[in-house]
Each structure stands twice: as structure tokens, then as C-alpha cells.
Structure 1
Amino acid sequence: MLLFTPNIRSGLFQVPATGGAPVAVTTVDLSKHSTHRWPQFLPDGDHFIYLATSHAGSKEFSGIYLGALSGSGAQGRLLVRADANALFASGYLLFMRKTDLLAQRFDTRSMEVQGDPVRLADKTLNDQGIWRGVFTASNNGYIVYATGANSADEGQLTWFDTTGKVLGMVGERGSNSPRISPDGHKVALEFGEPIPEVWIFNFASGLRTRLTNGGADSAPVWSRDGKNIVYFSIPGNSSKARLAVRAADGTGSETLLFQEDQWETPTDWSPDGKYILYDHGDPGATDIFVMPVSADQKPFPFVQTPAWERGGVFSPDGHWVAYASRESGRDEVYVAPFPGPGPRWQVSSKGAGTPRWRRDGKAIYAINGDDVLEFPISSSNGSIQTGESKVLFRTTIGETLLFTAGYDVSPDGRFLINSLGTSRTGSRPLTLLVNWTAGLNP
């Protein structure tokens, strides 16, 4: 029997290894979770463990749960709180909290954990984009795990110039999705555990002020006049995402824009203030839609294909939109006229994503792995011309579960980056633990 999840917002299904009709074996409690994943059968062949967590960023109910094929799709039972996948090996449950790899004895007769968890390793690589720790274990006493920073929660907002020189740091670790105000004096960001909220950081005073409260709020975007901020919001005890707008000074209450039964993650606000670009659909499978700010208009698609498109941003004059598409099999940056229709132009050819326009509109910045790239660009007679790209500098940039950019560019051309501090390029160190159960209490 095989266990699998058909999409990123689903419970688990079983299907015979020889083929057949899938049957649900878990049911997602939408008041707590949005996804079940990373199942592993236990020795009896009926029970299994799996991770249940939420795309909203809330970790309050994130954990390893126990299910059973004989449970007929019932909701599972919480075993331990965890931030990534788990494995059962050598009589122990191996799981992760942040970057700590923990072990806790597990009785397969009572199906209960016993004693307290013991930390086996810290700084274990944890890919929070998919909630998977990079570790494995055998039943004869071996564990192998990778180390390194990969979580946006570990990053530090850092100023860089165009050569990669560090100019200073901003706020506390764990701040992410920075969007600098049009006047360059403030930055909107997401911060907080277990539920993220939108905050405003004033560069001059060093003060951070909370803008939102009461739900999972992230991906803030400024209006071009600097008076309002749109953000992604999931109210408490809800699984529905929506776009909400609030005054940047915190006055008044939030205003909900047109609500759809889809995830809505804002990416930019047009210079004339009339339109908001947003990623439409489940994270990892989005199209780019346009939300008119006027209440009498409905959203409409801007780029909608079978491929994954995301991260649309307006040019300074509002006539063009740069975005990332994975139609070639990897992220590349494209430019298309707004509001369309019209031809599009491919800007990158060796991989690039999360574009940002330079203030004068004559270049697009983008990210490819650790590389911060610059693409010269110009427009004439309704067409786009691109020049030879160059690598400005290298660093590491933390992404969120919603794949929002972990960086922004200030009006004066500096980069504000959620830097993880160490390069992701090259090989990762692997550590082998031998006979690891010997030092644990029986």
C-alpha cells in the first residue's frame, strides 16, 4: 500500500502498489491545518505518522500525528509538536523543532511517545519551504543529517550596496518579506511566532510598530503614495486567505478586497493606485491576477498558464510588469505590457526569479540561487530590449512558505536582504551518527 497527497492542500490518500482508486485516509482540520504530508508506515502496516501544518505560518498546531488505514479517514492524533517531517527508527520518533533534530522513544504497542525528547543535533538543515528536515535514519543505529541555515526565520535584514558591501543591519532576526516605503524611510515586514504579523520599521528611529493583529498576516506591499498597505491575511480559525488593506499609520480598521476561494498573495501596487498584482492559487502553483481597488470591479487574470507564474511587479511608469515563470522547467524572468494583451519578452535565460525594477526603470534586478543579478532593459515603440546581465554580488536570501521575496531595493539603489549569512552553493556538510541510541536512556 502507498500513501500520498495529491496536492499541497490535502489530506493523505492510500492506493494499492498495483494501482487502483485512491481512498482518503486522513481529513484536514481546516481550523488548524492546511496540509498533511511526509507519511511513514509504522511496523504494524496499519498505523502511520505524518506531518500536519499550515501554510498560514501558524505553528501552534503544527506537529506529527498518528493515523491508521483502519481509521477510515478520521482526523489523526497528535504525538509531538514539530516543524517538519518525522521518521520512526530504532524505537524512537525522530523529528524537528526549528533546526533541532530530536529523538523521543515511541512504543509501537500503545502507540504513545514516552519520556522527554532528547536533542541529537542542532543547526540541522530544515527546508521550511516544504517542511522537510534533511536527515535520514536506519534501523541499525545510523543517522545522517545535513547542516546549514535555510530558514527565513534565521535571517537578518541587512543593507548591501550594489557591490555586495554590507552597510548595516535592520531590526531583529526573523523579520522577512521586506517592502521599503516609496519615500525610503520605512520598511513593512512580517515578524512573529507562531503566527506572523505585519510590522512597520522606521529606519531613523529604529522603532518597530505592529500594523496587524488577530490572524496570520504576511507579504505586505505599499501603495505608491505610501498611505496604505495591502497584505495576505488568514483570520484565526480560518483556512481562507484574502487580501486586506490598512492605513500604513495603523489608523482605522482593515478593508477586505474581493474575496475568492483561493489563496491571494499580493506582490505589487500600480503607480496610479488603481490595481494590485497578486499570486492567485496554492503556493507553488500560482498564476498572476489583477485586483482592481475599485469595489465595483472584479479580479482578472494577467498571466494564466499551466506553468507556475508568480511575483509580478510594475515598472515605475506602470506600463510593464516583470514576473517569474517556470514554464521552461526553471524560473525565468519575463516582461509583459500592462494591462495587456500583448507580446511578452524573456529577460533571463540561465535562471532568475523574484524581480524588482530599478527606480529609473532601466534595469531589473533578480535572484538566482545566491546571485543578485542586474538586467539592463529599455522600451521603445511598445517593445522591450534587454542587455547583457551581470552578477552584482552573492549572498543568501531567505524565502517564506509563500515564496515571497526575501529582499527589496530602496529608492537610492541599496538592497535590503533577509540574509542567512552563509552560502548555499557547493556541497552541504553531512554528519553521520553511529550507534546513536547507546547514549539515550532505555
Structure 2
Amino acid sequence: MYELAEGTVAVLPGSEGGSNPVLSTDGESVAYVAGESMFVTDISGGRPRFVTTVSEPQGVSWLNDGYIYVADGQGRRLRRVAPDGESETIINSGCSCAVPADPPHGGGVVVSGRTTEHIVHIHPNGDRDTLSIRGNHGQFLHSGYVVFLRTGSMFAARYDADSRTISGDGTLVLDDIRTGSIGASGHYAISRNGTLAYVAGPPAGLLTPVVRSSDGSEERLELPDGVYGEMDLSPDERRLIVYSYDRGRRHLLHDLVSGSTQMLPIPEGVAYVVWDSPQSYIYSETRADRSTFFRSRLSGGSEEVLSFEGQASPTAVSDDGNLLAYRKVNRAGGQDLLIHDFAADSSVVLAGTDTDPAIYWSPDFSPDGRWVAYTRSGDGRSEVFVRPYPPDGSVIQVSTAGGEEPLWIPGEARLVYRYGAEWYTVAVDRSGESIALGSPRLLFSGPYANVAGMEYRMLSGGRALLYRPVNTEMNASRIEVITGFDRMLDELLPE
């Protein structure tokens, strides 16, 4: 605990290993996260009190209504927690929430997207107002401003509470705020009396796309440094689709042979695109809780290929183009993994149930389409598994101490998967009707980025497409405090 007036620092007893600390509105208590638990402790002393369990929270706030709000499950769920532990889920899935905040009027809570350009005011009766912004991690100030981030820079705009609109695209306020791995969430907080505290430093989200050879050497792609997300490689290894956060949340099509790059003609904000042939790809749109999958051709034109109720995203296609794997949000807020057979025009569940809160993701088909490797994330950890297709109820665990994002290496009888900054390979014997897997062995390691979705792809010859962070120094150099931040905005944004 740092005392601004006196410049002193004190350690709260029992808070070792804590993160996401937030002060109560009366300044007498602190809530924080340690592991998968949330605790509350009094600043005056005493033992920390367990409040509730959490799962990879992206933001915690203690708001004026006396509740602690948690952007839980990697920001997918929004929960309201009383200091005595009573909990209520406000948004069960699909939130993409950053740090919750107090609204400018009307009670309730405000959340802003980590990867979407909007601020949502959720009223006490459940009604929602959505404000579009040209950035992320936005917050309202009671002095009549909205602040938000764009790749390490803070912008501000005046907010009209009557029309619920902002003026312009924002004025640059600061250009050195540390951001998260995708450049969306930033390390800053604004007090109710107008004091801004932030972690200063270059954005951690800028990435350089590279090809890593089996000998460890790297070659940079002819793509500029940017804030990138999910990537997918065409079956002929010629073209790469990458999601660009800092180019209007659009997908870029990069030709690995010619080095040319262009925008894909698909709607802004669509996060997942997968190749189904060297000349076409599949993407999805979700509107009014209905998902529609489209096939689009590089030569032009698109067609609807699948439509159903619920939120879903395409994730992989078999080598022959007949099988499509996709994730679908279930009633428990988890994500099931399904396989659609285009020839039979039917889908089956490969992993998950409607009441399973776990997330099944990053599937990849074996070259013959008979096996699917995937990740299961739940209970605070992720592991890699393989199941047969069609599913018969059997499952084989691949990773032994954590792992995610498996891929079958082209032209080789091997699987590869990621665990943190390390990539492991597993020998695969598919000579008979069954499958036999060897023990995981370290393939390579390095400070490569881990973003939302698949951030690497394997090429023939043991090469890998990866994102290398431009800024590898992750420790904060300093924390800056600006008192009278409201007055500073008055000078920068005169009426």
C-alpha cells in the first residue's frame, strides 16, 4: 500500500502473491486475487477473508454501490460480488470485458471491451446503453469526459450525458501507457477525485511476424510491426490470414511468395477466419444470437454454408475440405467443440456438454481427417487431447503438465503444441486403426507472443510462423501519478 501524501509503502499482511488489488469506496479495505481465490483484507490489519473463487480475471473494481465487479474467465463473464461472498453473474459469456467502472449516471456498471471498440453501461434493471469509441479499455469520468486507449496511447473526448454521445474521435492525452499482450487493456486507474495513476512504458502489444527455421534462425515477413491476433495458413502454405487490431480490427491477407498484403473483404470485428482450400476461406457472423458461416473465394463472391442458433466461430477445416470444426457457447458459459460434415450436412459434438463450463478450442485435423487434436481449458489449467472422428467416446491426453494449441506438423508423423514459451513435439503412430503417441519432447522455446487464439502455424520442414514481441522488456520502468487530471483535460479539450 503506497501512501501518496507521505510517500510511504506498507505491505498488507497475508497478501503475498496477490494481484488485481482494488480499494473499497471508503478506503478502509482492499480486495485482491491470489491464485483462483479473491480475498478482502482491512488496511488497519487483520487476516484476509476469503470472498469467492475466480478464473483468470481481466479486471477487478470496487464500485460506488459497494459491490466488487470481476471481469472473470479471461474477461468473458462479468460478475458482481458482495464483500461477504454473495455472487451474481451479470454477463455469462461473450463479454470481452476490461476493467469494470462506475457509470456517469443512472447507477449500474460500465464495462468496455478489451478487443472491441465500445463502452457498455448496464443499468440496474438490465437495460444497456452502448457507446462506440475509437479505442479500447474506456472509462467515464464524472467531470464529463471519456478516456480510452489506442495501442499504448490515451485519448480523451467530451461526453454528452443527454445525447449519450462523444465529440470527435478523441484527443491525444498520453503516449506511453503500458498495454497488455494485444494492446487493448492498459495499466491505468483514475480515482474519483481526478487523480490518474498509470504504468509508463512502450506498448507490449506490438508484434513482428517471423518465420523460425528448424535451426533457430529467423526471417521477418514483409508485414509491418502491428498489434496482431489469430492467424491461419492456407493449405498450400502460400498465403497467411492475420487479424489486425490496430488496422480497424480487420483481417489482412499476406502472400508469403510475393510479399504483398491486402485487406480481406469481410465485416469489421469478425475474429476467426479459417482456410478451407487454397482459394477460399470460411468466417462467421453472429447477430441476435444466431451464427451464420460464409465461404468466401479469393476470386470474389461468397455464399452461406451453415446457420444455427447460438454464438459460434469456425476454427479448423480438414485437408479434404469436407469437415469443419467450430466452437459454440453453451448454457454454462463454456464452449463446446463440434464437427460439421458438409457431405452429410450434419454436425456432431466432439467435446463438451451443454452444462460444461470448460472451453474446448484450437482443434486441428490429422492429415487423414480421422483424428482431432484440441485444447481443453478449465479448472485453472489447459491440456491437449486427441479424439477420433467420428467420435466414439474415447479420448487420449497428449500433454502431461499443461499445454495448448496443438498442430499436426505437415508431412511428418508428429504433433506439436505450446506451453508458455516452450513448444513440444509428440511422435504419432497412425499405422493401424488406433493411434499411439510418444512422450512430449521440447522442440524449441523463445519469447514469442501468446495472443487470443492461434498465434503460430507450422510449415513444412519444421519451420514455424510466429509473432516476436517488439518490446521484450515486460517489467514496468515506473508508475506515474497525475493529480488534477480533470483540470489537465479541461485545458486540452476546451469547450
What band does the TM-score fall into relative to the shorter chain? 0.7 to 0.9
Partner of 2:35: none
CA positional deviation for 1:39: 3.4
Report the CA distance shift for 1:329/1:384 in structure 2 as closer, same or farther (over 3 A).
Answer: farther
Partner of 1:136: 189
CA distance in 2, matches of 1:326, 1:22: 23
Gaps of 5+ in 1: 27-32
TM-score, length of structure 1 as denominator length: 0.76
Partner of 1:274: 322
CA distance in 2, matches of 1:23, 1:383: 42
Q: Is the 8 A contact 1:332 1:348 kept in 2?
A: yes
Amino acid at match of 1:97: R
Report the CA distance shift for 1:40/1:291 in structure 2 as closer, same or farther (over 3 A).
Answer: same
**Further displaced range: 430-439 or 304-313:** 430-439
Matched, 1:161 2:209: no
Q: Secondary structure at the match of 1:360?
A: coil
1:86-101 alignment runs, 5 A limit: 86=139, 88=141, 94-101=147-154
Matched, 1:290 2:366: no
Q: 1:119 aligns with which of 152, 155, 173?
A: 173
CA distance in 1, matches of 2:380, 2:78: 27
CA positional deviation for 1:276: 0.9
Q: Secondary structure at the match of 1:404?
A: coil
Q: 1:244 aligns with which of 290, 294, 317?
A: 294
CA distance in 2, matches of 1:440, 1:299: 54
Partner of 1:232: 284
CA distance in 1, matches of 2:200, 2:190: 12
CA distance in 2, matches of 1:81, 1:192: 12
CA distance in 2, matches of 1:21, 1:388: 41
Matched, 1:40 2:101: yes
Report the CA distance shift for 1:160/1:77 in structure 2 as closer, same or farther (over 3 A).
Answer: closer
Q: 1:254 aligns with which of 298, 302, 306?
A: 302
CA positional deviation for 1:193: 5.9
Report the CA distance shift for 1:433/1:164 in structure 2 as closer, same or farther (over 3 A).
Answer: farther
Q: Secondary structure at the match of 2:240?
A: strand
Q: Secondary structure at the match of 1:349?
A: coil
Partner of 1:352: 403
Q: Secondary structure at the match of 1:258?
A: strand
Q: Deviations over 1:9-68 (max 9, x none)?
A: 9998978777999798x9xxxxxx977764323698x54662355x9x663xx23x5565
Amino acid at match of 1:98: T
1:11-50 alignment runs, 5 A limit: 38-41=99-102, 46-47=106-107, 50=110
Q: Deviations over 1:337-365 (max 9, x none)?
A: 22221432222123221111112342222
Report the CA distance shift for 1:140/1:78 in structure 2 as closer, same or farther (over 3 A).
Answer: closer
Gaps of 5+ in 2: 1-64
Q: 1:265 aligns with which of 313, 317, 341?
A: 313
CA distance in 1, matches of 2:76, 2:236: 42
TM-score, length of structure 2 as denominator length: 0.68
Report the CA distance shift for 1:358/1:107 in structure 2 as closer, same or farther (over 3 A).
Answer: closer
CA distance in 2, matches of 1:161, 1:345: 30
CA distance in 1, matches of 2:489, 2:245: 34
Q: Is the 8 A contact 1:316 1:361 kept in 2?
A: no
Matched, 1:319 2:379: no
Amino acid at match of 1:231: Y
CA positional deviation for 1:287: 1.6
CA distance in 2, matches of 1:18, 1:232: 42
Q: Is the 8 A contact 1:324 1:333 kept in 2?
A: yes
CA distance in 2, matches of 1:114, 1:288: 43
Backbone CA RMSD of aligned residues: 4.4
CA distance in 1, matches of 2:273, 2:405: 15
CA distance in 1, matches of 2:122, 2:374: 41
Q: Is the 8 A contact 1:258 1:299 kept in 2?
A: no
Partner of 1:188: 241
**Further displaced range: 112-121 or 186-195:** 112-121
Q: Deviations over 1:390-422 (max 9, x none)?
A: 1502132252xxx32012112233211233234
CA positional deviation for 1:321: 1.2
CA distance in 2, matches of 1:136, 1:421: 25
Report the CA distance shift for 1:119/1:369 in structure 2 as closer, same or farther (over 3 A).
Answer: farther
Partner of 2:414: 363
CA positional deviation for 1:433: 2.1
Report the CA distance shift for 1:390/1:37 in structure 2 as closer, same or farther (over 3 A).
Answer: closer
Q: Is the 8 A contact 1:162 1:393 kept in 2?
A: no
Partner of 1:51: 111
CA positional deviation for 1:203: 2.1
Amino acid at match of 1:265: S
Q: Secondary structure at the match of 2:189?
A: strand
CA distance in 1, matches of 2:127, 2:459: 50
Q: Secondary structure at the match of 1:412?
A: helix
Q: Secondary structure at the match of 1:190?
A: strand
Partner of 1:145: 199
CA positional deviation for 1:302: 0.5
Q: Is the 8 A contact 1:186 1:202 kept in 2?
A: yes
Report the CA distance shift for 1:197/1:299 in structure 2 as closer, same or farther (over 3 A).
Answer: farther
Report the CA distance shift for 1:366/1:440 in structure 2 as closer, same or farther (over 3 A).
Answer: same
Matched, 1:331 2:379: no
CA distance in 2, matches of 1:23, 1:394: 38
Q: 1:395 aligns with which of 447, 454, 461?
A: 447
Report the CA distance shift for 1:149/1:405 in structure 2 as closer, same or farther (over 3 A).
Answer: farther
Identity %: 18
CA distance in 2, matches of 1:193, 1:14: 31
Partner of 2:14: none
Report the CA distance shift for 1:434/1:315 in structure 2 as closer, same or farther (over 3 A).
Answer: same
Q: Is the 8 A contact 2:103 2:110 kept in 1?
A: no
Matched, 1:406 2:455: yes
